[in-house]
Amino acid sequence: MKSEAGTLLTLAAFFALTSLFAIGGANSAIPEIHRFAVDVQHWLSDRQFADSFALAQLTPGPNLIIVTLIGYRVGGIAAAIVATLAMCAPPCVIAYLVGRTAERFKGAAWHNAISRGLVPVTLGLTAASAIVIVSVADINWVAGVVTLATAVTAFSMRLHPLWAFAVAALLGAVGLI
Amino acid sequence: MTSETDPKPGQALLSPPTIGQLFTTFAAISLSGFGGVLAWARRILVEQRRWLTADQFNETFALCSFLPGGNIVNFCVIFGTRTRGPLGALVALGGLLGPPMILVMIVGAVYAHYGDVPVLHRMLTGVAAAAAGLMLAAVAKMVRPLFKNRAVAGPAIALATFLAIGILHWPLALVLLAIVPASVAVAWRRA
């Protein structure tokens, strides 16, 4: 059993490093957070991870509040704050520095190359996040049907996420999932 | 009441926000957003408050999506800095993150007590399954433009990223340190 300070340090180091590779935001880091929190540290079970992800989706705010929730689960309020700040601080410092100088390199060739180079990587990361959530949430065929039906509906029309969540939660409440 | 429509071209922007307005505005943006805060950031900053033109918003957002970390977090830091300096950035961040953090910790405390109730767990499983579906739809929407220019490099890079992270569960940092430079090099040569 690790000391409390040791756990806080582990959380801070992990999320600070992960934040630099979360292209587009915390949802790109879902597989990495799952790998570390569930497989490496055994802080949560698959089921608790799926529940945490769902609760973060149901709470208004940026996607990165899943990090707050996982920190809270691991070590209460202090860990929640440490994890969230670690996930925010490195990108915020970069945004602060770049935000003051950005006018100078706008439209540069290397800037365009990086932007275009990140597109397929972001796509791969989003697909990886989806498959990781599928693997922890789709515990039976009904949940799998909910995933597919939501995907098809959201792809073919504008769908407010809360509608999809409400229908899916109702199916769970009546015992179908 | 504020207008919901875009300000007309040439219409003057309102004076920049005060420190207090930065906090309350980003808190409002944050708490309005389920599954994507961006649409609300645009509506509130451009259409209601008129602190940015639509072009300024798009340019700042393009810059943010190119930086590591959450787009809206980066947006909030850059907008706060440009209007009220470093203190503005901190206050805007506090507005964006503070209220949802408190909310989600309350949610976490409730879950710690009632998470084992089967019906609650089944409802959350349903929500996670639906959220996975929303992500799949986002992937499907990103796939089409990738295949448009008939190059194999883009799809190959996307597939390699997906396999390494989603199936093989390799560490994110190591995978991206290999794949991102390769992908940027391909984009550079094609330019």
- Label residue B3 by pLDDT band (50, 70, 90): very low
Average predicted confidence (pLDDT) for chain B: 87
* Chain B contacts in chain A segment 87-146 (CB below 8 A): 87-88, 90-92, 94-96, 98-100, 102, 106, 109-134, 136-139, 143-144, 146
Inter-chain residue contact B129 with A111, CB threshold 8 Å? no
Distance from CA of A141 to the nearest CA of B (A): 11
Q: Buried (b) or exposed (e) across A37-58, using 16+ Cβ within 10 A? A: bbeeeebbeebbbbbbbbbbbb
ipTM of this complex prediction, to 2 decimal places: 0.90
> Among partner residues A17, A88, A114, which is closest to B73 by beta-carbon distance?
A88
What local confidence, expressed as pLDDT, does residue A107 receive?
67
What local confidence, expressed as pLDDT, does residue B19 receive?
94
d(CA A96, CA A90): 10
Tens-place pLDDT, residues B127-161: 999 999 999 998 998 888 877 766 778 899 999 99
User: Can you tell me the mean pLDDT for A8-21?
Assistant: 96
Tens-place pLDDT, residues A88-121: 999 999 999 988 776 656 667 887 888 888 889 9
| Chain A interface, best mutation among B72, B110, B124, B177, by max A CB count within 10 A | B124
What's the sign of the alpha-carbon dihedral B128, A165, A27, B26?
negative
Residue A42 sits at φ, ψ, to 5 deg, of: 55, 40
> Among partner residues A80, A94, A137, which is closest to B132 by beta-carbon distance?
A137
- Whether the pLDDT of residue B122 is over 70: the answer is yes
- Label residue A155 by pLDDT band (50, 70, 90): very high
> Among partner residues A80, A98, A123, which is closest to B158 by beta-carbon distance?
A123
> Among partner residues A31, A59, A177, which is closest to B103 by beta-carbon distance?
A59
| Chain B interface, best mutation among A53, A88, A94, A123, by max B CB count within 10 A | A123
Tens-place pLDDT, residues B59-113: 888 888 778 888 899 999 999 999 999 999 999 999 999 999 999 999 999 999 9
Tokens (6 digits) for B142 = 């990103």
Q: What is the CA radius of gyration of chain A?
A: 18
d(CA B88, CA B17): 9
d(CA B122, CA A171): 8
CA distances from B157 to B13, B91, B154 (A): 43, 39, 5
- Whether the pLDDT of residue B4 is over 60: the answer is no
- Label residue B190 by pLDDT band (50, 70, 90): confident
In 3D space, the residue among B12, B124, B67, B86 whose CA is nearest the CA of residue A57 turns out to be B124
What local confidence, expressed as pLDDT, does residue B9 receive?
47
- Whether the pLDDT of residue A81 is over 90: the answer is yes
Tens-place pLDDT, residues A48-75: 999 999 999 999 999 899 999 999 999 9
What local confidence, expressed as pLDDT, does residue B7 receive?
47
